[in-house]
Amino acid sequence: MGHDHEHDHGSELSETQRRVRALETILVDKGYVESAALDALIETYETKVGPHNGARVVAKAWTDREYREWLLADGTAAIASLGYTGRQGEHIVALENTPAVHHMVVCTLCSCYPWPVLGLPPVWYKSAAYRSRAVADPRSVLREFGVELPATTEIRVHDSTSEIRYLVVPMRPAGTEGLTEEELAGLVTRNSMIGTGLP
């Protein structure tokens, strides 16, 4: 017949999907996890938890002076007040970027990251290259992310740990005075809250 099914990948599972399925089957069979619990967890990180949460925090800090002060003084509580709590968010410190200081976050040991406000970390955040170079030469790492800072701006690199996670509050872009909090949130990118991007 000569019909080659290899060409038809449309409905097939990817290698990763097959591995995940196999792993899930084993874990459920052995009674380590419940399918429903796993689904709830995945749904949480797909739809509820992500950088849009952090963006709301930043936009509120940009527009509400009292909230901003609270956020910088007690990040965990100010963030929790918007309903963002949970794993890897037990102790979040907010770092405010200014013309004088630019904050950038890394986890040199593994991939600690403020899940409740940013979701799961991007692949590059977990890479050995980022983890070592962010500390050794942050300015050139930033350049690779397309961020060129004035020589007069000090770059401060913060190492996340299992105890402390950081959320960078980027500088509010010029010319955004007339925007609503919601519109402002739309400008806040994930990378700008890690310190590897600008809004």
- Answer for which of 22, 38, 110, 129 binds Fe ion (CB under 5 A) is 110
Of the candidate spans 5-13, 30-38, 51-59, 103-111, the one that interacts with Fe ion by CB under 5 A turns out to be 103-111
Catalytic residue among 35, 110, 127, 132: 110
Q: Which lies closer to Fe ion via its Cβ, residue 26 or residue 110? A: 110
Known catalytic membership, residue 110 = yes
Query: CB within 8 A of 190, min separation 6: which ones?
Result: 51, 54, 118, 119, 122, 197
Q: Which lies closer to Fe ion via its Cβ, residue 26 or residue 109? A: 109
Residue 112 found at the interface with Fe ion (CB under 5 A) = yes
| DSSP letter string, 25-65 | HHHHHTTSS-HHHHHHHHHIIIIISSHHHHHHHHHHHHH-H
Of residues 121-180, those binding Fe ion (CB under 5 A): none
Amino acid at 128: A
Per residue in 139-150, is it b (16+ CB within 10 Å) or e — as a string?
Answer: eebbeebebebe
- Least Å distance between CB 54 and Fe ion? 18
> Which residue has the CB atom at the shortest distance from Fe ion?
112
Known catalytic membership, residue 81 = no
- Answer for which of 61, 92, 105, 107 binds Fe ion (CB under 5 A) is 107
Q: Which lies closer to Fe ion via its Cβ, residue 61 or residue 112? A: 112
- Least Å distance between CB 130 and Fe ion? 12
Q: How far apart are CA 76 and CA 89, in angstroms?
A: 7
Per residue in 167-188, is it b (16+ CB within 10 Å) or e — as a string?
Answer: bbbbebeeeeeebeeeebbebb
Interface ranges with Fe ion (CB under 5 A): 107, 109-112
Known catalytic residues? 107, 110-112
